[in-house]
A and B are shown apart, each in its own frame.
Chain A
Amino acid sequence: MDLWYTENHTENVRFSTKVKRQLVSFQSDYQHIAVLETEEFGKILTLDGYLMVTEKDEFIYHEMIVHVPLATNLDIKKVLVIGAGDGGTIRELVRYPQIEQIDMVEIDHMVVEICKTHLQQTSCALDDPRVSIYYEDGLRYIRNIDDSQYDLILVDSTDPFGPGEGLFTKEFYGNCYKALNDKGILVNQQESTFYGSYLEVMKRSHQKIKTTFPISRVYQAHIPTYPSGFWLFGFASKHYDPIKDLQAQAWNDLGIKTKYYNTSLHLGAFALPNYVKEQLNEID
């Protein structure tokens, strides 16, 4: 049998990978959830047909969303994670003993349930005692919580079309600002700018963050299975600069073993290609 999974990266570009078998195909209240076993990427998770996680390259995304802020401020104790139903971000966070509390807000209970069963590689730390999971809309959660309580907010969201749309808005960034303490950091996935359809969203969300936080930087990672293979993250904060305040020695002393992230790469990730700088400068 010749069974393939295909995601349209644009109207004219496709990404395909050969499928061994389908493990899950489920319509939740919010989206279609599938887990497929592939020849090349191991198990993969898709939401509404969009590829979210593959076993082969998920480490890149999850290491880059977590270790960049954690190496900038080693004193992070209280973390809010929006999205992250697959658990990969949580797995990286629990490696830090100084973190005392991780609140995770995921809109779709079924994503977590399915990942717990079929994607142990990422979901393995969801039962850590420091983790509390809230199943609700991220925008709603953050609107209703006390001010200035988190050291770090990680936005591990889906694309800005569909249920994740509210996490790319000015109202969300504004409410994040309110929920962070005066040294707080916000890191979010910011899509890619290589293809036109994502460019506008990325530019707009970057602009909204810039008008909300005094410090706002963009960094990159190489993620083979995401559209264009080139992905961007936003680093916004009230106090710390991710380059000047990098605690390279102290972080290396923690002895956290990583496959992608290191402190040299940390600095390099903030060095952006000229075409991306131009795209961002357009709105500066």
Chain B
Amino acid sequence: MNYTQENTPIHEAIEYHKNTRVVHFDVPGHKGGRGNPELTKFLGEQCLKADVNSTKTLDNLIYPTSIIKGAEELAAEAFEAEAAFFMVNGTTAAVQSMIMSTCKAGDKIILPRNVHRSSINALVVCGAIPVYVNPGVDHQLGIPLGMGMKDIEEAIMKHPDAKAVLVNNPTYYGICSNLKGIVKLAHEHGMKVLVDEAHGAHFYFGEELPISAMAAGADMAAVSMHKSGGSLTQSSFLLCGKGIDSGYVRQIINLTQTTSGSYLLMASLDIARKQMYLHGKEIVAKTLELAEYARKEINRLGGYYAFSKELINEDTIYDFDRTKLSVNTTSLGLAGIEISDLLQEDYDILIEFGDIGNFLAVVSAGDRAFEIERLISSLADIKRRYSKDKADMLTYEYINPDVALSPQKAFYSDKRELPLVESVSYISGEFVMAYPPGIPILAPGERITQEIVDYILYAKDKGCVLTGPKDMTLEHINLVIDG
């Protein structure tokens, strides 16, 4: 069948299916909601009726031949990719599929140190070895940045046998790396470029935004359609560029993806793709307008710093996604997390997250003007009521990790606990992450040095939030029993 971007093949097939009044002796057992009245009352009859099963007419996510295939082809066209896959296990599954499609056990992959947990988990599953690159840190803001070209080049030269380079683009805060430059460099050395584009679905459809992974020539990208593309939570796209064997990628996806793919999630991807293709420009323009207005007003309040493109340095901050409303709060003497808590508890306003020095508010075309006013006015009121003297920031120095064991080997090894101060020269069995700036100090399989122990003690003393280890106080740490 010939579909156009006006079509939503999965959505249309479900609508048709509902109208045929087929009698169901298949799963799901709620049978259009009749089997679970309370759930039906809560979610609505239409929603339950659309919660259907793979059939001959509704295709199958494991091996699509009709409507899902059509919808995936439309998605590929919309994102200007060679192939697109509907993912119903979240962007986590998409990131893991990218890594597992390009790296086998023992293969090396170059990644920024502040990589998402899902990537490390993929390494645990497939047995690949990480080569970490210093992401760079803005010391004033206390946030990790993009990877610098020099650092990537150094990593590539040192590890010419690496199979792929993974890039976070944009970061949570909206910071972009030099994606085109990275693609060129990696391809010259025969490496694939994988982009964790969880926060960049809108890059494909809006104007005046940083370049998207596919446009930059990346080989694969994991795109959270549910974050800025308008689909339901947990739905996502995996995109492939030229030179990726999409049949093999499908096999990799099927290793871990459910065999009962949710048609609610798939239909939401289908409809969201159509909306972004047809109206993405206006949607992104409205988002930008709201975010720019909020940024301007928040910066006028004093004390807050809603940062934007002025940070661009042509390297670790190559570009900035202006739809992100990222705000630094250190001048107010308040942690971003404190402001996030105040907003939720006292002002009935929920924001995406706060760390020590910053918070991030997600703005979208779904926001209304008076809601933006509420956020700005609440920040004004918080400043009046709660601001205090500025606390001194910690100075962060990147510590180059010594990867002694693959994450897979470390994960499956027997472990024992020792006091942190006695752990030097052992191999860590767990993560140690410090906020700020949200970069791991240790990951499983890495050798502990005196420098690392000193830094953990220093970060603790400075009031950093340390996460990861079983012992939350970090008096003790789990170590790999070295064979």
Q: Which residues of A contact B (CB under 8 A)?
A: 137, 139-140, 142-143, 163, 165-166, 169-172, 174-175, 178
Contacts and interface: CB of A to CB of B under 8 A. Distances in A.
15 contacts: A137-B369, A139-B373, A139-B377, A143-B373, A143-B377, A166-B373, A169-B347, A169-B378, A170-B348, A171-B378, A171-B381, A174-B380, A174-B381, A175-B377, A175-B380
Contacts of B21: none
A137 B381 contact: no
A140 B370 CA distance: 9
B381 A139 contact: no
Nearest to A163: B370
Most A CB within 10 A of own CB, among B374, B377, B384: B377
Given A174-B381, A174-B384, 11 more contacts: A140-B377, A143-B376, A143-B377, A143-B380, A166-B373, A169-B374, A170-B347, A170-B348, A171-B378, A171-B381, A175-B377
Interface in B353-378: 369-370, 373-374, 376-378
Contacts of B384: 174, 178
A171 B377 contact: yes
Interface in B383-407: 384-385
B346 interface: yes
Contact of A137 (B346, B370, B380): B370
A270 B380 CA distance: 33
A104 B385 CA distance: 26
A129 to B, nearest CB: 30
Most B CB within 10 A of own CB, among A137, A163, A169, A172: A169
B244 to A, nearest CB: 48
B381 A170 contact: yes
Q: Classify the interface of chain A: helix, strand, loop or mixed.
A: helix
A6 to B, nearest CB: 26
B396 to A, nearest CB: 34
B370 A171 contact: no
A139 B374 contact: yes
Q: Classify the interface of chain B: helix, strand, loop or mixed.
A: helix
A174 B387 CA distance: 14
Contacts of B348: 169-170
A164 B254 CA distance: 50
A165 B370 contact: yes
A137 B385 contact: no
Interface residues of B, number: 14
A211 to B, nearest CB: 8
A211 B448 CA distance: 50
Interface string B327-352: 00000000000000000001110000
Contacts of A142: 377
A169 B370 CA distance: 12
* Interface pairs A-B: 10 shortest CB-CB: A174-B381, A171-B378, A171-B377, A171-B381, A139-B373, A139-B377, A143-B377, A166-B370, A140-B373, A166-B374
Most B CB within 10 A of own CB, among A171, A174, A175: A171
A175 B385 CA distance: 10
Nearest to B347: A170
Contacts of A171: 347, 374, 377-378, 380-381
A142 B385 CA distance: 16
Nearest to A138: B373
B370 A139 contact: yes
A183 to B, nearest CB: 19
Contacts of A172: 377
Contacts of A137: 369-370, 373
Contacts of B377: 139-140, 142-143, 166, 169, 171-172, 174-175
Contacts of B381: 170-171, 174-175
A137 B380 CA distance: 16
A139 B385 CA distance: 17
B15 to A, nearest CB: 30
A172 B347 CA distance: 10
Contacts of B369: 137
A174 to B, nearest CB: 4
A172 B378 CA distance: 8
A169 B377 CA distance: 10
Contacts of A139: 370, 373-374, 377
A140 B376 CA distance: 8
Nearest to A204: B348
Interface string B403-421: 0000000000000000000
A92 B165 CA distance: 71
A166 B371 CA distance: 8
Contacts of A165: 370, 374
A172 B377 CA distance: 7
A89 B173 CA distance: 46
B300 to A, nearest CB: 8
A58 to B, nearest CB: 26
A140 to B, nearest CB: 5
B150 to A, nearest CB: 45
Nearest to B348: A169
A171 B381 CA distance: 6
A170 B378 contact: yes
Contacts of B347: 169-171
A53 to B, nearest CB: 22
Contact of A174 (B370, B376, B385): B385
Nearest to B380: A143
B41 to A, nearest CB: 15
Most A CB within 10 A of own CB, among B348, B373, B385: B373
Contacts of A178: 384
A165 B347 CA distance: 12
A155 to B, nearest CB: 14
Given A139-B370, A139-B373, A163-B370, A170 B346 contact: yes
A50 to B, nearest CB: 17
Contacts of A169: 347-348, 374, 377-378
A172 B348 CA distance: 13
A142 B374 CA distance: 12
